């Protein structure tokens, strides 16, 4: 599973990463999480509001920080 957190590294970006790590751990998934902070690359994903989560080359959420439980549902529906 390829997971990316898109954002500047702000508090919400760090919270999204922490919630994503928790969701993946609870799902028993072992995934490496890449942080993308380059504005050009973020815009190339079509993201206008950060933080955003990309799973297997699909933007599954942007502009908010879902709970670990919500993230589990989003991740399952994207794979």
Its pTM surpasses 0.85: yes
Domains, the chain, ordered by start: 2-78 (3.40.30.10)
Mean pLDDT of the region 23-28? 96
Mean pLDDT of the region 37-63? 96
Distances (CA, A) of 15 to 9, 40, 58, 64, 79: 10, 22, 20, 10, 22
Which residues are the active-site residues? 10, 13
Residue 30: predicted pLDDT: 86
């Amino acid at each position: 599973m390829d997971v990316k957190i898109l954002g500047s590294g702000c508090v919400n970006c760090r919270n999204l990463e922490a919630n994503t790590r928790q969701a993946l751990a609870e799902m028993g998934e072992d995934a490496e999480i890449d942080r993308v902070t380059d504005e050009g690359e973020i815009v190339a994903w079509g993201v206008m509001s950060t933080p955003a989560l990309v799973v297997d080359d699909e933007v599954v959420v942007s502009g908010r920080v879902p709970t670990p439980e919500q993230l589990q549902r989003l991740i399952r529906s994207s794979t």
